[in-house]
Amino acid sequence: MNNILALDTMIAEASRISVSVHIHPDGDALGSGLALVSYLSGMRGKDAVLLVPDSVPESLAFMLEGFGEGSVLTCNQDLEGVRERISGSDLLFCLDCSSFSRSGEDMEPELRSSSAPKVLVDHHLNPERDSFGIVFSETEVSSTCELLFRIIKEMPDVEGDLARLPMECLESLMTGMTTDTNNFANSVFPGTLNMASELMAAGVDRDRILSCLYHNYRENRLRLMGYLLDRNLEITPEGTAFMILDRAIQKRFDFRQGESEGFVNLPLAISRVRMSILLTEEEGRFRVSIRSKEGTSANLCAMRYFNGGGHEMAAGGKLFFPGNIPSPEGAKAYILKVSEEFLAK
Ligand code: 5GP
Ligand code: MN
């Protein structure tokens, strides 16, 4: 039996379904999670809920419009509710991460120990296949939203007819694909453009989505971007561009999670830059975002030096202090060393 039919049967046999996504959810995580919840509840009549490990960034809150109060549970607001939900679920999905290890420390143990059947839908490298009954894993797609789009389209009750799906489902898929491609700037495949075209033909208002995504920030974001590029950005002789968004700068610009989305891509515009790294200070660690150009592996760099991973040219991880570096002030020296070692000829 192919995966689609197996999935169809699994859904038919389940009644309470929970969908989990990765910590620090981005547009693709939320988009794929919401689209799946919309399909499962709207088309299949299931009790389906999206479980988010931490909070939804303000800049993506518009994505929840059209979804009922109970459709999304977040660990930071209702940890007990999330735990009860997982233990009472008879089918679990893991979206936009290669295993439950990116579900955050609150949810991971509950998800792993659940006896419910588990399904993975993801586009990252190295999926943890053994933890799932069904695995949909492809790296030659723009986003989890694109992979989920293809899966949902093939479901027997949809038969390729997008008009049968709730508009929230179609819009969520378009939104997640748009953010993961950085509005069609990277990871675009022929299927990605087909998807966009089909969604628009089915009535998705792309202009509205673009306006919500890109014309709706606080002024602080742009001022912070300008500050980082002018005062903070450094480029090593080997071609590593880096910016360090430490606590002092966060305070100065009243920084909120999600407001630095896309910043790490900007230095790639410079010809001699081969790799770009953005460090964002958090409690006891920096969150690390890495982007690279063809021929340099952001994924390898994230795995080797930053306790992380991701895609070939877009990856991320963490840098702990005092574990990896003595204190936040040691970040620059660490990056200089990484650059020298990793980009050495
Ligand atoms: P971003 O820089 O947008 O936060 O993340 C870029 C990519 O790296 C995403 O595909 C994300 O899944 C991956 N990534 C970010 N942080 C981590 C991490 O801590 N661990 C792993 N394994 N991947 C990460
Ligand atoms: Mn993704």
- The CATH number that domain 219-343 falls under is 3.10.310.30
Q: Is 317 in the pocket of ligand 1 (CB under 6 A)?
A: yes
Looking at CATH, the fold of the domain delimited by 4-214 is given as: inorganic pyrophosphatase (n-terminal core) (3.90.1640)
Q: Is 301 in the pocket of ligand 1 (CB under 6 A)?
A: no
Q: Is 27 in the pocket of ligand 1 (CB under 6 A)?
A: no
Q: Is 310 in the pocket of ligand 1 (CB under 6 A)?
A: yes
Tell me the whole-structure pTM to 2 decimals. 0.95
Cβ–Cβ contacts within 10 Å for residue 215, how many?
7
Cβ partners under 8 Å of residue 12, min gap 6 = 44
Q: What is the pLDDT of residue 264?
A: 98
Q: What is the pLDDT of residue 69?
A: 87
122, 136 contact by CB (below 8 A): yes
Q: Which atom of ligand 1 is nearest to the CA of 317?
A: 19
Q: What is the pLDDT of residue 153?
A: 98
Query: What is the distance between the alpha carbons of residues 270 and 243, in angstroms, rounded to a whole number?
Result: 14
C-alpha torsion angle, residues 255, 101, 126, 2 (rounded to 10): -110
Query: What is the distance between the alpha carbons of residues 253 and 236, in angstroms, rounded to a whole number?
Result: 26
Task: Kindly give the distance from the C-alpha atom of residue 124 to the centroid of ligand 1, in angstroms, as a whole number.
Answer: 9
Identify residues whose C-beta is under 5 A from ligand 2, the ion.
28, 96, 143-144, 180
Which ranges of the chain have pLDDT less than 70?
1, 345
Cα–Cα nearest to 328, from 299, 290, 287, 298: 287
Q: Is 309 in the pocket of ligand 1 (CB under 6 A)?
A: yes
Q: What is the pLDDT of residue 345?
A: 67
Q: What is the pLDDT of residue 1?
A: 57
Domain regions of the chain by residue span: 4-214, 219-343
